[in-house]
Amino acid sequence: MDLDKAQGSMQAVLNILKTDLGTVRAGKATPALVENIVVAAYGGTQKLKVVELAQISAIDPQTIVITPYDASIIGEIHKAVQDSGTGFTPVIDGQLIRISIPPLSEERRNELVALVHQKLEGGKIQIRQVRHEAMEEVKKAFANKEISEDDKDRLEKEVQRLTDDTILQIDNLGKQKEVELMAI
């Protein structure tokens, strides 16, 4: 039974969740809001993320600026952001694209908090799946007489401790994001 493998899997889930939560906007401009939008660039021959095609910066709490590395694809980036379902209205301004982030209404903040809770629950389900797989490995090793009963008990407790710690980290991420969303 490899505890490092279980810990690595749980850490991977946590990292994915952090990235996913970063895309939930909190009423202030951050590059994470647009960097993973996929652009059909160069006449649709390549599918690349905005972060691969342009420099993205937040010049103030309400404005994101996208500066394409290749000015010829500015229209394709503009269209991808517009069609992304984010609700942003990008504006081409010379060699760059400006996106104004409107302030969030109370209703929208509550919707985003609900979305965050959904994402957190998905992360917890994945963590519990990793725990389940690790526990199965421990039971199989015990059944095959590869480990003693004491080792089995110790490993099961260790897997459970890892699971509890990771779930606690997920809960803390959720609390931070909720505070961020509800702050005006």
pLDDT tens, residue by residue, 109-136: 888 888 899 999 999 999 999 999 999 9
* Predicted local confidence at residue 139, as pLDDT: 93
Residues of the chain with CATH 1.10.132.20: 3-21+105-182
Average pLDDT, the chain: 88
Between 3.30.1360.40, 2.60.40.10, 2.60.40.1220, 3.40.50.720, what CATH number should domain 28-100 receive? Answer: 3.30.1360.40
pLDDT in tens, 33-79: 888 888 888 887 888 888 899 999 988 888 899 999 988 889 999 99
**What stretch(es) of the chain map to CATH 3.30.1360.40?**
28-100
Q: What angle do CA 7, 13, 18 make, to 5 degrees?
A: 125
CATH architecture of the domain covering 3-21+105-182:
Orthogonal Bundle (1.10)
Residue 89 has pLDDT above 90, yes or no: no
pLDDT score for 105: 79
Closest CA to 33 of 43, 42, 23, 41: 23
Choose the most confident range, by mean pLDDT, from 26-40, 67-81, 162-176. Answer: 162-176
DSSP three-state, residue 129: helix
Beta bridge partners of 60: 63
| Among 18-27, 47-56, 141-150, the least confident range | 18-27
pLDDT at 2 over 80: no
Query: What does the pLDDT read at residue 1?
Result: 53
Q: What is the pLDDT of residue 26?
A: 65
